[in-house]
Structure 1
Amino acid sequence: MPFITKITTQKKTTERFNIFLDNKYAFSVDADVLVKFDLKKGKELDDLDIVEIQYGDEVKKGFNRALEFLSYRMRSTKEVTDHLKKKEISDPAITEIIHKLNDYRYLNDKEFAEAYASTHKKTNGKGPDVLYKELRSKGIDDDTIKETLSTFSFEEQTEEALKHIGKILKKEKKLSTKEIKQRAQMLLQRKGFSFDVITAALEQTEYANDEDTEREALRQHAEKALRKYRYDGSYESKMKVKQYLFRKGFSLDMIDQFLQEEE
């Protein structure tokens, strides 16, 4: 069986040591592993000892990488597992690392889910449907997700939905009343709000333009349509302009009145 003939400190990091067996470099280990296995010059190692030492070093190395990954923000168990796999840590070592992280309370999927949902509700205004999908993709189980999202009340969801609608009303002043409502509905669906919440939010919103604002919005869209379809008063060009404006959500009466004035 080989003997440890030399132990040297690595140049790049003083926390790792090179182990030489029978005057030949064999492997390197972390300082904690060196102490744990009482590695010193003259110690005899068999093949099983070497496998056990190298496995212990892999766990230590993976644990340090997991801590570094966790230092930026909270992570789910799946996120840490995926990260360690990318770093080519073996599955048995990952299992042991995850167990240690849980013991030290560096990992807690329930706390992660609560923090993630709270942050994304406040900063991005996301609804339950989107939060559910995102938490599921991070490996959080259904029961934990449902328990987490159960605290997101209907009133809170409606309040968030109203904030989104308010931004549309402030930004999209050149749209018809109908198109404003459609855009609000589509945005809230993308944000993950339910039909009931969307309906409640729209019912509480005064999104209808007054007549002057609606006419000004129509005029701006109409000018684009007149240029686009080269309006010349013919039936064909008139129908194209009317269809375009109708799709934008303006009433036929208002469209006809505008075209009559144009003629």
Structure 2
Amino acid sequence: MIVMEIVPVDKRRSKVILDEDFTLVLYRGEIKRFGIEEGEELSEDTYQEILKDVLLKRARERVLYLLKASDKTEQELVRKLKEGGYPQEAIDYAILFVKEHRFINDENYGKRYVEYNSTRKSERQIQYELQKKGLDKEMIRDILLEQPVDEEAQIQAYIRKKRIVPEELDQKGRAKVISSLARKGFSYEAVTRALGCIYSDN
């Protein structure tokens, strides 16, 4: 591997850009310690030494720090490590470490997420957000079957909060309410049911 360029990231760290668009982020003292210079070759032995002595441990500490701040899915941790300039070997090591020690579990994360948001967000919105966080569709579906989202109750609460009286809505007003709730991810069926029954017990 040839060191193509060394670019400062901040006052203490620099990006070591290698050929084949491969990048390492190291402290300046580490760059000096391992004798890394622009235009020179970085041997496989030196790379493995950097990986073993520096990057594996640093990636592990980074994910533990991220998890201490808040729950994360596997995909979120991988993305954070990639953004931090960690090579794939360090990412794989860190993720395996937190999995083996049960610091992350995407299914449990999904269950907690649904439990916390089931009275605040639509099922569609929850599905979308969990997929963005890296959970697969089948896992999300199973979680939602086990912990259903009561969309009608949320819609009714929204209508009460906005002081909407369905019986007083004309066609244009009704369409506006339906459109507003649809943007929040609620289904047309759930919205129309709620509009029809919101004050039926008053």
Residue of structure 2 in register with 1:256 after alignment: none
Say yes or no: does 1:136 pair with 2:128: no
Contact 1:128–1:192 (8 Å) recurs in 2: yes
Q: Tell me which amino acid in the other structure corresponds to 1:103.
A: E
RMSD over aligned Cα atoms: 2.7
Q: For residues 189 and 201 of structure 1, what CA distance do their matches in structure 2 show?
A: 13
Contact 2:118–2:148 (8 Å) recurs in 1: no
Percent identity, aligned pairs only, is 22
Residue of structure 2 in register with 1:147 after alignment: 142
Q: For residues 115 and 191 of structure 1, what CA distance do their matches in structure 2 show?
A: 21
Contact 1:168–1:184 (8 Å) recurs in 2: no
The Cα offsets for residues 171-229 of structure 1, whole Å up to 9 and x where unpaired, read as: x9xxx62254333312321222222222221111239xxxxxxxxxxxxxxxxxxxxxx
Residue of structure 2 in register with 1:213 after alignment: none
Say yes or no: does 1:194 pair with 2:187: yes
Q: Which moved more, 1:113-122 or 1:76-85?
A: 113-122
Which residues in structure 2 correspond to 1:69-108 (within 5 Å)? Answer: 69-108=66-105
Say yes or no: does 1:163 pair with 2:157: yes
Say yes or no: does 1:53 pair with 2:45: no
- Deviation at 1:111? 1.0
Residue of structure 2 in register with 1:113 after alignment: 110
Contact 1:168–1:180 (8 Å) recurs in 2: no
The Cα offsets for residues 69-95 of structure 1, whole Å up to 9 and x where unpaired, read as: 111211111110000001000012111
Contact 2:156–2:194 (8 Å) recurs in 1: yes
Q: For residues 33 and 199 of structure 2, what CA distance do their matches in structure 1 show?
A: 77
| Corresponding residue pairs, total | 162
- Deviation at 1:138? 1.2
Contact 1:58–1:89 (8 Å) recurs in 2: yes
So what's the TM-score if we normalise by structure 1? 0.55
Judged with a 3 Å threshold, the aligned counterparts in structure 2 of structure 1 residues 50 and 67 are, in CA distance, closer, same or farther, namely: same
Q: For residues 105 and 186 of structure 1, what CA distance do their matches in structure 2 show?
A: 43
Q: For residues 121 and 92 of structure 2, what CA distance do their matches in structure 1 show?
A: 33
So what's the TM-score if we normalise by structure 2? 0.70
- Deviation at 1:106? 1.3
List gaps (5 residues or longer) in structure 2: 1-11, 13-28, 36-42
Q: For residues 147 and 162 of structure 2, what CA distance do their matches in structure 1 show?
A: 23
Q: Secondary structure at the match of 1:71?
A: helix
Q: Tell me which amino acid in the other structure corresponds to 2:51.
A: Y
Q: For residues 130 and 192 of structure 1, what CA distance do their matches in structure 2 show?
A: 5
Residue of structure 2 in register with 1:177 after alignment: 169
Contact 1:55–1:93 (8 Å) recurs in 2: yes
Residue of structure 1 in register with 2:15 after alignment: none
List gaps (5 residues or longer) in structure 1: 1-11, 13-17, 28-46, 208-263
Q: For residues 119 and 183 of structure 1, what CA distance do their matches in structure 2 show?
A: 28
Q: Tell me which amino acid in the other structure corresponds to 1:99.
A: L
Judged with a 3 Å threshold, the aligned counterparts in structure 2 of structure 1 residues 118 and 190 are, in CA distance, closer, same or farther, namely: farther
Q: For residues 130 and 48 of structure 1, what CA distance do their matches in structure 2 show?
A: 47
- Deviation at 1:49? 5.6
Judged with a 3 Å threshold, the aligned counterparts in structure 2 of structure 1 residues 25 and 92 are, in CA distance, closer, same or farther, namely: closer
- Deviation at 1:134? 1.0
- Deviation at 1:100? 0.9
Rg comparison, structure with higher value = 1
Q: For residues 51 and 58 of structure 1, what CA distance do their matches in structure 2 show?
A: 10
- Deviation at 1:131? 0.9
